[in-house]
């Protein structure tokens, strides 16, 4: 039983000329311990699919079956999702991943940072991390609360080659522990052992 | 010294009022700034002032502080609820223009109503000029309770406040139903604090306490918790220094407190440069 199954999934958002569907309908599944990569060129609609899965799109068609609860899904937004200059420590950023348990999630945040190899930066300023370190910190943030499925939107944007490789190695390590991973990326080769699902541009309005 | 004590004997109420207001307003300014919404702090006090003068013009007594407070909260809340949302279709530039327009509308409405209403002229000018001596003991007690409630609530829900500041969308993804309620709660909290400021200390000092401590301290803060505590202390200390300066120089307190905010901020900046204070960096960078 896959953690997530999408059949004929198609999502759109409101634009000044009506609902815009950037990508064609898509089918895929994500199993436990598997890395699935939604790949395609810039602007083909990968982020809209990701946002649609998270309930942030205006229109949805097709069938989406989840076998995980909402609070078992971790989400790593695009790099631009969080202001880099924010005066927060890395630990504080990680702890915002589970705000309801703020008073009790300090130890969990430290474990999550350890899982992504960032335990040495727990008290560092988020604004002073490199691009690759920021990605790993945001992955740690998504891991807090022990998700079964991790969604990552363009995890290698603004990360150099070695940083991207380290993010890829981290995802493989997380997948080997049983976590299902769905990521979008317009580049390939930074993570081995992933199943690629091509996203085709549609550019349709309704 | 005896003169100072004599002045304090009748000005302790506004001093305590402004001090406790600073403890709530400056951290609110920090959270608004983190959310890239500091212009709300500029736009909303004039809205609160306009709501109050319109209410007085329409017949609510100028001495009915709690009723006027409710009107100001309602006016501010209304504007924040109709304001275009960050994730909506409106561009960030349009949002800035919208808030600047709200500021202008609030100021214009206040000026027009003040000029046509004798009751506003008689009862509200002290508030609009930020004369801190305007509040009485019963209002102080009510607002004191309010400050405790607001600060306790913010402390208990600080995880959500920080999540709202860092990544509102992420909060919505994790728990969509609760995220809407949390944002609404934050808007109410903001309206409650800003409306209290309009009545307590006037629009000028409200805006100053929201913006100036954050402007000076945000770049130096080593974490979100330290930021909100630091700006709160900076605001409260500036109130004490400003009041002392106003009493010593026989000057109006609000502008002197604003001066104290700048003086304290510049002193902090100077000290930080001399001591080389900066946020802690990463031990190693991989890019």
User: Superfamily assignment of B2-270 in CATH?
Assistant: ABC transporter involved in vitamin B12 uptake, BtuC (1.10.3470.10)
- Per the rule left: phi > 0, alpha: psi between -120 and 50, beta: everything else, A178 is left
Residue to test with chain B: of A15, A51, A87, most B Cβ within 10 A: A87
For residue B230, the distance in angstroms to the closest alpha carbon of chain A comes to 12
CA dist list (Å): B35 to A30, A136, B48, B163, B176:
34, 23, 21, 10, 18
- Residue in B165, B173, B224 closest to A54 by CB: B173
- Give B182-230 pLDDT, tens digit per residue: 999 999 999 999 998 888 888 899 999 999 999 999 988 889 999 999 9
Question: Which token pair is A49?
Answer: 């699919």
Residue B286, chain A, CB below 8 Å: the answer is yes
Does the beta-carbon distance from B280 to A124 stay under 8 Å? yes
Residue B88 banded pLDDT, cuts 50, 70, 90: low
Chain A residue numbers with beta carbons less than 8 Å from the beta carbon of B223 are 87-89, 92, 125
Chain A residue numbers with beta carbons less than 8 Å from the beta carbon of B171 are 96, 99
Helix (H) or strand (E) holding A15: strand A4-15
pLDDT at B284 over 60: no
Question: Which token pair is A30?
Answer: 């994500």
- Give B19-78 pLDDT, tens digit per residue: 989 999 999 999 999 998 899 888 999 999 999 999 989 988 887 888 888 999 999 999
CB interface of B with A, residues 98-157, below 8 Å: none
Better-scored residue on pLDDT, A122 or B89: A122
- Residue in B159, B166, B281 closest to A124 by CB: B281
Task: Report pLDDT for A170.
Answer: 87
Residue B87 banded pLDDT, cuts 50, 70, 90: low
pLDDT at A89 over 90: yes
Task: Report pLDDT for B266.
Answer: 95
- Residue in B170, B280, B286 closest to A166 by CB: B286
Task: Report pLDDT for B130.
Answer: 61
Q: Is the ipTM of this complex over 0.85?
A: no
Given a contact cutoff of 8 angstroms between Cβ atoms, the answer to whether A8 and A154 are in contact is no
A30-62: burial string, b at 16+ Cβ within 10 Å, e else = bebebbbbbbbeeebbbbbbbbbbbebbeeeee
Task: Report pLDDT for B276.
Answer: 75
Task: Report pLDDT for B105.
Answer: 94
Residue B282 banded pLDDT, cuts 50, 70, 90: very low
Residue B225, chain A, CB below 8 Å: the answer is yes
Cα–Cα nearest to B154, from B224, B103, B91, B87 = B224
State what percent of residues in chain B have pLDDT above 90: 41
Looking at the domain that runs over A1-68+152-157+182-206, which CATH code has it been given? 3.40.50.300
- Residue in A54, A56, A163 closest to B287 by CB: A163
Question: Which token pair is B286?
Answer: 């991989």
- Give B218-267 pLDDT, tens digit per residue: 988 889 999 999 999 999 999 999 988 988 888 888 899 999 999 999 99
Find the range with the poorest average confidence among A6-10, A66-70, A115-119, B131-135: B131-135
Task: Report pLDDT for B61.
Answer: 86
Given a contact cutoff of 8 angstroms between Cβ atoms, the answer to whether A30 and A47 are in contact is no
Q: Cα–Cα distance between A112 and A91 in angstroms, integer?
A: 10
Mean pLDDT of chain B: 85
Residue A79 banded pLDDT, cuts 50, 70, 90: low
Task: Report pLDDT for B285.
Answer: 46
Residue A201 banded pLDDT, cuts 50, 70, 90: confident
Residue extents of the structural domains in chain B: 2-270
Better-scored residue on pLDDT, A66 or B13: A66
Does the beta-carbon distance from B285 to A121 stay under 8 Å? no
- Give A23-33 pLDDT, tens digit per residue: 888 999 999 99
- Give A137-172 pLDDT, tens digit per residue: 998 998 988 899 999 988 887 777 777 888 888 889
């Amino acid at each position: 039983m896959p953690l997530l199954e999408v059949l004929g999934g198609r999502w759109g958002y409101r634009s000044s000329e009506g609902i815009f569907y950037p990508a064609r309908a898509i089918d895929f599944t994500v199993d436990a311990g598997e890395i699935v990569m939604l790949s395609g060129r810039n602007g083909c609609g990968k982020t809209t699919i990701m946002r649609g899965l998270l309930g942030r799109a205006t229109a949805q068609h097709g069938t989406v079956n989840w076998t995980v609860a909402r609070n078992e899904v971790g989400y790593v937004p695009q790099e631009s999702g969080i202001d880099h200059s924010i005066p927060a420590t890395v630990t504080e950023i990680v702890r915002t991943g589970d705000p309801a348990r703020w008073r009790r999630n300090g130890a969990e945040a430290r474990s999550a940072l350890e899982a992504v190899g960032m335990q040495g930066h727990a008290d560092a300023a988020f604004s002073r991390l490199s691009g690759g370190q920021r990605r790993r910190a945001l992955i740690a943030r998504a891991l807090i609360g022990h998700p079964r499925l991790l969604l990552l939107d363009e995890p290698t944007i603004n990360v150099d080659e070695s940083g991207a490789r380290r993010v890829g190695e981290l995802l493989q390590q997380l997948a080997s522990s049983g976590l299902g991973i769905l990521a979008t990326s317009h580049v390939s080769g930074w993570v081995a052992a992933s199943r690629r699902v091509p996203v085709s541009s549609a550019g349709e309005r309704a | 010294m005896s003169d100072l004590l004599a002045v304090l004997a009748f000005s302790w109420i506004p001093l305590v009022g402004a001090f406790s207001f600073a403890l709530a307003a400056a951290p609110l300014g920090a959270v608004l700034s983190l959310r890239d919404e500091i212009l709300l702090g500029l736009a909303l006090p004039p809205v609160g002032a306009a709501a109050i003068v319109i209410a007085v013009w329409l017949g609510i007594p100028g001495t009915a502080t709690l009723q006027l407070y409710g009107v100001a909260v309602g006016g501010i809340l209304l504007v924040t609820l109709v304001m275009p949302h960050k994730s909506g279709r409106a561009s960030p530039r349009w949002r800035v223009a919208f808030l600047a327009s709200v500021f202008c509308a609030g100021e214009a409405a206040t000026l027009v109503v003040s000029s046509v209403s004798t009751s506003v002229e008689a009862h509200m000018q002290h508030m609009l000029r930020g004369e801190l001596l305007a509040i009485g003991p019963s209002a102080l007690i009510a607002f004191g309770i309010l400050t405790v409630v607001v600060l306790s609530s913010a402390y208990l829900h600080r995880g959500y406040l920080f999540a709202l500041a860092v990544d509102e969308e992420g909060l919505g993804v994790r728990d969509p139903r609760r995220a809407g309620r949390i944002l609404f709660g934050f808007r109410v909290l903001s309206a409650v604090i800003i409306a209290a400021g309009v009545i307590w200390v006037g629009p000028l000092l409200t805006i100053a306490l929201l913006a100036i401590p954050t402007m000076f301290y945000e770049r130096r803060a080593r974490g979100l918790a330290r930021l909100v505590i630091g700006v709160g202390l900076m605001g409260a200390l500036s109130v004490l220094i400003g009041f002392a300066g106003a009493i010593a120089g026989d000057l109006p307190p609000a502008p002197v407190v604003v001066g104290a905010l700048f003086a304290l901020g510049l002193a902090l900046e100077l000290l930080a440069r001399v001591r080389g204070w900066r946020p802690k960096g990463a031990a190693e960078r991989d890019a």
